[in-house]
Structures are given as C-alpha cells and as structure tokens.
Structure 1
C-alpha cells in the first residue's frame, strides 16, 4: 500500500514477530500510510538483518524518500551492559547486538524497543487509552507482557523491562487452590504468571482439568455452549488473571488497562475481569476501565514508529 502524498516527515515502525515482520510508515499525525510484511527468518541472523534492510529500503523507494528514522519493536529483553538481545520467539536474535548492527547497515537513526511496550505506546496515542493520564497495555498472547505509559510517554525503567508482569511469580496458595503445578518458564524462573494467564496458559489449565488439547478461542466457544471443563478453566484463568492485574493496580495505579494479544478478542474478559481484579484488592481502590485495543495487530508497528518519533526528538 503506498500513498503518493506521504509527508516528508515520516517515521518507520517495525514489529518483529515469531512468524512475520511488519513495517509501517506513519505521517506526522501518526496515521499509517504504508504497510508491508515479510516472513521472519527465525534461525538465521544475517537473513534477519537483510529482511529488515530490504523492508526499509523498499519503503524508501515506494514513498520516494530516504533516511526516515526507524523504530523496532522486538520480543525479549536487551542486556544493558553488553547490548545483546535475549529473545525466545526469534532465536536468531539471542546474543546479537541488533540495534548496533542495523544502524550500521541502514545508516540512519534507529531505536530498539520491546514489542509489548510498543503496543502500549500505540494505544496511549490515539488508541483505546487516548486522553488518560496513565495506562498499562497488558499483552495476553503466547506469553504475557506489557508496557506502561505516563502522559503519553513510555516508561521503560532502569533495565528497560518495565511492564514485564508476566514474570512475576504466581502465589503458591493460588496455584494450590486450583490444583495447578509449579511450572518452569523459558526465562529461567519457575511459576511465572505468563505460564498461567496467557493464551497458552488457558489451554494448559483446560488440559490440567482433564480437557483435550485445544486453544483458548476453542475453550471460549465450548464455555459458551455450557461445557463444564471449559467453564471451569475460564473461572480459574480469570482468578489468576485478576490477581495479576490487581498487582498492576497496586504497583502502578494506571487510569486504564488495555488488553492486547489473542485473548483480547474474548468479549467475556471485559465483562468478568473487573470483579476478578477487585477480589484481589483491599477495600477502597477502584478497578480502572479494562478496554480492548483500538489498533489490533497493527499496534506494535505503529508504536515502534511512535518510539522513533519520541526518541528522535529527545
């Protein structure tokens, strides 16, 4: 998709996923004017660098200008001392200095951010959280992560990991109440919240209850049909998710929470979650609005473009 009237003031945002890389170009109003996707080379780092470079150069050619600042939303975390990436979704990136290597290859301003944090930044600007002084974007997909924005600016934190609530520990008492095992996490810890509250976590809970191996959307369909195991799995998942979001309320007190990832499509969450969160709060605090995302799967790339705009100006 191209726009012959694209502004010279353009920011590129790339969302790096386990299956696809999406590039968008945004104008000064942060409207998406151009979009292109390619498959992610997950095992070959040189092929990954080339795929990103090809996307950026193709955008330059299609839009008729060059040198736009680039923001990258990448899954995982960066070691602040070495600058090396840790990414379980895209193994080729682990141990690599992505920001340094792509800056050298593209010869333009380039800024690296976490993909979940980019989602939050996008929803804070013209999205579901527009107009709120603070917001938390909670991703519930294959894993669980998020990002926190204050007055429209992303708060990444000292280590750049602010919003990694998926790696808080699930309390032993809550796991015991629901007869759930203490599970290992790919991060190296045990009992991380994302093992239970993500889409894959809901599937695991359903399986632990004796159900067959199906995904979260199928569980929701079966629950609507009155299947007992699916209903019970959703009840347990909602309790654990309510605990996790209550922790965010206590730690950050956001004015709104916006859900992202595959589970954000489940309408029943918006109906049932506020009470589940309130059950894990002491009397007094109010549960903030819990809203679906405005930009869907375009949010991460748009947020990366916003990251480039903000960091270019700072």
Structure 2
C-alpha cells in the first residue's frame, strides 16, 4: 500500500507544502505567503494549506512533517523564532496537532533542508555534509552518514547566530546590529539575503531585497559589486569557521542566494582566505531539490518516524 506524507517548510517569506510517497518523489507542491506577525492567521494558513492538499489529492496523508524556523525550549515546548515572530512563545506543535488531527512530527526547517540533500540530494554519498541556508535568515543543518545531528539543545547548525568579529565590522565600517534572537552582531544580519541588501543600503544603495542587488551586479553597478565583495568576505569567514568547527566533506547551499551562480565560483577562495595553510575547502554545491528542499526533508522526517505521533 502506497503511503502519502506531507512535508511543510515554514520560512520567513513563504510556507511550502509537498506531498511525497515512500520513495520521497515530490508529487504535489504548493506555496503561500507566511503570516509572520499574527499567530491565529498562521495556524489558519497552515490548516487551509493541508486541507487544500487533501482535496486536490483526494486523500488524507498518513503523517505530516513540519520544519519550523528557530528553536524549541525543550522544557516548555515553546518556540523562539526570529524570522517568524508570531511563533515565539507559542507551543506550535501542540496547536498544529489540535488543528490537523493527524500524526505530526516537528523538526527545524534548516535541518530538514540538510536531511533532504543528504538523502538522494547533492550530498548523497558524502561521509558528512553541511546544508547552509542563505535566505531571509542564515542557518543550516549537519549530517553524518545521512543521519541528522541535532545536538543537546537541538540547535546544531545554527551558525547564523555566531557573532561577526569586531575586526570585520571595523574593516567595512558596518554597524553592530541587534538580532531578533536577543543577541547582537549575529552573522545572519550580514550574510543572509536580507544582510546583502542591508550592506548595499549601508554603502549608499537602495536595494530592499538581495535579488535587486544581484540584478544590479549583473549590470556592473559599482555599489552592488562592492556590496557583493563585502558580503563575500563575511560569508567566507563564516564558512571558514564552519570548516574549522565541523570539517564537513561538502557544503550544500540553500535559500534564495543559492541561485546566484557566481557564489560557487568565488566562495572557495573567500573561504580559503580565512583558513590557515594546508586546509582544504570542501566542495560548495547547489541543492539538487531547489532552494527550499526543506519541505521534502520534513516529509522524510514524517516517513522516518512512521505514522504514530
């Protein structure tokens, strides 16, 4: 009997639902905008997205996997999410379970992306991999032999909340920015897609989104090219720190910036500049399942845990 698993990837910009069978081939996909400020609207949106999939597929799935942004307080079950503030302080898993009335399995959205790419994705066959998201925020997940390493607090891979060195902030005269996580100077504020746009504005440009900076780079705009240069150096430092901390055999990029092809050409040198002599930079690869493969990873999470909550 063929089973159906839904995977939900909750991001700071969009919510994506995919439906997969046991082979994890995606047979259905739909995206909607994420309600980031209103929790009731968020629950309604997820509920409607799942019910719509049921109707269009004329079936009810066997289990749902959900990749949530941020971290869960394991003592209270409450969520902390800088990219979707409406979730912070809420028991999201419990509330979604009450709404959907079916087996539900929660994971971190970034870790789900890594899990997907480690199973049949760009990192298939590598002994270890790091999936690094560069989207609205910055974070990722770490897998060894295809097994997700979540860590003691379940936050392994949250490199976006490491701090930017004061020396790099001073080098480029960048401000020390507050982060919604409660810390200051988090890498996420500088190396994510929104971080690239911030750097462009800081240099006198007017881009509100990373895509606008990339478009201007393609037209040889000097401010955009300088913003990309600064961003590349900061990202090179961040990934060099990943290499020294985890030494993954491959890094797979996700998020909107993963579509920018020059990254794969230029990042190795930018990383090497922050490593000591003799260290090799691992391959930097684009994702096989697109910039938002976390939904497939969430479906894989549901399949791995079976149909019992």
SS of the counterpart of 1:296?
coil
Corresponding residue for 1:203?
197
- Pairing 1:295–2:273 present: no
Structure 1 residue aligned with 2:76 = 82
User: TM-score when scaled to structure 2?
Assistant: 0.91
2:253 is the counterpart of 1:246: no
Answering whether residue 149 of structure 2 is matched by residue 133 of structure 1, we say no
1:277 to 1:10, Cα distance in 2 relative to 1, 3 A:
same
Query: Which residue number in structure 2 is paired with residue 3 of structure 1?
Result: none
**What runs of 5+ residues in structure 2 fail to find an aligned partner?**
none
SS at match of 2:49: helix
Q: Which residue of structure 1 aligns with residue 271 of structure 2?
A: 277
1:118 corresponding residue in structure 2: 112
Kept in 1: contact 2:137–2:193 (CA 8 A): yes
The Cα shift of 1:55 comes to 3.3
Q: Tell whether 2:153 aligns with 1:145.
A: no
SS at match of 1:191: coil
Q: Which moved more, 1:100-109 or 1:167-176?
A: 100-109
Equivalent of 2:299 in 285, 296, 305: 305
SS of match in other structure, 2:296: helix
Deviation at 1:219, TM superposition (A): 2.5
1:31 paired to 2:25:
yes
| 8 Å Cα contact 1:113-1:304 kept in structure 2 | yes
Question: 1:1-314 residue pairs with structure 2 within 5 A?
Answer: 8-66=2-60, 68-312=62-306
> Structure 1 residues 208-217 or 186-195, which shifts more?
208-217
Tell me, yes or no, if the aligned pair for 1:128 and 1:292 is still in contact at 8 Å: yes
Deviations, residues 170-198 of structure 1 (Å, cap 9, x unaligned): 11112112222211111111111111111
Change in Cα spacing, 1:226 to 1:281, as seen in structure 2 (3 Å) is same
Aligned partner of residue 133 in structure 2, secondary structure: strand
Q: In structure 2, do the counterparts of structure 1 residues 42 and 143 end up closer, same or farther at CA, with 3 Å as the change threshold?
A: closer
Q: Is the 8 A contact 1:133 1:150 kept in 2?
A: yes
Offset of 1:289 from its aligned partner?
A: 0.4
- Say which is worse superposed, 83-92 or 262-271, in terms of deviation: 83-92
What is the TM-score normalised by the length of structure 1?
A: 0.90
Cα distance change of structure 1 residues 237 and 34 upon mapping to structure 2, 3 Å threshold? same
Deviates more, 1:10-19 or 1:108-117: 10-19
Q: Deviation per CA, 1:262-287: give whole Å up to 9, x if none.
A: 11111111111001101111112210
Q: Contact 1:8 / 1:65 at 8 angstroms: preserved in 2? A: no
Moved over 6 A (4+): none
Alignment RMSD (CA, Å):
2.1
Q: Could you give the per-residue CA deviations for residues 115-140 of structure 1, whole angstroms, max 9, x where no partner exists?
A: 11111111111211111111111111
In the alignment, is the contact (CA less than 8 A) between 1:123 and 1:137 conserved in 2? yes
Quote the Cα distance in structure 2 between the aligned partners of 1:19 and 1:272. 27
Size of the alignment, in residue pairs?
A: 308
Cα–Cα, structure 1 residues 62 and 313, in superposed 2: closer, same or farther, change >3 Å?
closer
Q: Separation in 2 of the partners of 1:62 and 1:204?
A: 40
- Distance change (3 Å), C-alpha of 1:15 and 1:281: same
Question: Using the alignment, how far apart are the partners of 1:160 and 1:253 within structure 2?
Answer: 20
SS in 2 for 1:55: helix
Q: 1:239 to 1:43 in 2, by over 3 A?
A: closer
How far off its partner does 1:313 sit? 8.7
